[in-house]
Structure 1
Amino acid sequence: MKNQRLYELLLRIAEHDDEMAFKELYNFFYFDLIAFSRSILNSEQDAEDVVINVFVRLWQNRKTMGSIKNISAYLYTAAKYASINMLKSRKEINNIDIDDLSDTFQYSFANPETELIDRENIKRLGELLNTLPPKSRLVFYLVKDKGLSCKEVSILLNTSIRTVETQLYQTMRKIASWLDRENIRPKRKPGNS
């Protein structure tokens, strides 16, 4: 979903209490936030509870949503801290770091860029991404699929921007190498020569 569309949804929710816009926003982020939260909590049920609570609080504070600059970063940060708070309430941790993330995070490769590659190669690329270390998968997912900046991801994952950039660079090199090795060239968009 484009940033402009997300911003329009935020304004509709903040200014008009638009439940349909909220449902669209919820549906867009729900499963991705559960996967992210599950990578911290190692529990599907706890991740669902966390994400639902994040959205409940978001609805309760909807009048201030128009001031949110990047809803993706906002929601991922909220899910992170809600997950950490759940772990703290269980007395399991004091803080979380990128190295503490679970290996259970699986990347689902489906975004507008994938329209340029055929389905079989998308499946194979998804399999390649899921062979990467969990931290690399998560960084790639947050930056390339969810549109967060390296700085936002570094804050979200309590790591340096340099670490995020390095992991993203290494992942992109692996993808480029795989594309070359498989001799895969993106399809051209209609109208491009």
Structure 2
Amino acid sequence: MHQFTYTSQLDELNDEALLEQFQQGNTLAFEELYKRFWGVLYLQAYRILVQEEDAQDIVQEVFTALWTKAASIELSGSLAAYLYVATRNRVLNMLASKRTYQTHLSSLKHFISGTDNNSLQYITEKEMTARMEREIRALPAKMREVFELSRKTALTHREIAHQLQLSQETVKKQISNAIRTLRHKMAHFSFFC
């Protein structure tokens, strides 16, 4: 098949034809798809997240996935629909991940507040978050890696297990152990404050 090399020729192709060109190795076709979709996908993500940086990260992840998985993509509908769904799913995963992280942070704060209310009045949320990050960095390497992937990315337990070549049960256990360890450490933190 004729390889399109000029942007003007690529402009004339529909989205699916561009994807096909990219799947055949034409990186200019990917650049054209990026130009066509970046703005609308960003707006879709931004409308929900209301954070520029988060919306940019989501769109970047969608295009990174398109780049790395292009050969295996088989569309059942339009490429636009595929990209919109991929963006929406990543946004929802990010929201769930942030809610989970905030829930754990809130849970730790509640746990600590039950131990010594007087000391907590001196601890700001910023100090608490900084301490939490230090304690996360102090976790054993594999536990920290699993915990951070589960809390700071949009990956599911299954995706983390696949990426790290672990069982889903191991991933769940590492996350549970990390939370237990962090609760214990944060309780001591409030005691010494």
TM-score relative to the length of structure 2: 0.43
Structure in which a larger fraction of residues adopt helix: 2
Which structure has the greater CA radius of gyration?
Answer: 2
